[in-house]
Structure 1
């Protein structure tokens, strides 16, 4: 079993044993099949840590890793909110939230692509600013990207689950911390843990740092 398998299984056991049901609440989520409420069992504030001696991907269940990478590239490389761009890659996981204009609104890649940071007199987006700062000011504690924009939450087809990354450079190694407001353990968590580790490896390669903790 991998490090991820062990941590994942531990959290699943905690949810099964101590999870709190929301059956008494008026929940947003509904089953596609019949429209009835999709209730959950949940626990609060669990953290996973990886030393990056191995790629964090589950071996106890199938993970659509190619799809995870394509979604990552759609958000972080293309900085897109256009679902048709994702469809061109053969990925349809966002079709459910596609709006009439073919986008998911001002969510995910839209936020990363906004040129709202000042850099040497020019406006750049969050990703370009992050790459520049990691190389030019590695000791900073402000290496953060943020998808949670309160001014535009109402213009998003779905508010971001994974909403923040924070990056640290210590002794020539690039460390990454990822935060999520909500994480579906059956599907979303294995997807997100793997794809953001891929992102860490990509950013480390581009900036010239060794791989740190995750």
Structure 2
């Protein structure tokens, strides 16, 4: 069993917690993490880039001048792609870049991401983080006590005061267990788990 100290908001050790080796302490393979992160980023692409084709450009369809006898190159209408302000031939149109990898691979990659944080000693477990009212200053005091700057905080459920207290801190993100994903785990330097969220993560990833 992987064992981690449980701290309070002052940074003091209050207990220990056993983490499942099959989730938090497995072999990390970079190629699996890369494949899932690449998929996540592809799914986030908007794919809204678009150009106006010949039929989309406003203008007359009248032939600019007669086909023969002028000595000039033949011309169609003013919307021709070779004319200034004409339509674009091979430009982009809205499309989806999303694709999927097998569910087992996604689950394995998330286990590997969590294991990498544990093995690099960048995983912290906190017994609770409750605020009476939303207050960014109080939140920053807790971050300073824990010596954390760039961190992903995982909660077991809705924690409105915590979410509101941290939303103005650019290097911090608060996420619930159901939204936990590989990209965000790897993006932030530290992973802070509130103690109740550990059982939620293990329940979600246990086979």
TM-score by length of 2: 0.33
Q: Higher RCO, 1 or 2 (CA under 8 Å, sep at least 6)? A: 2
Which has the higher Rg, Structure 1 or Structure 2?
2
TM-score by length of structure 1 reads 0.32
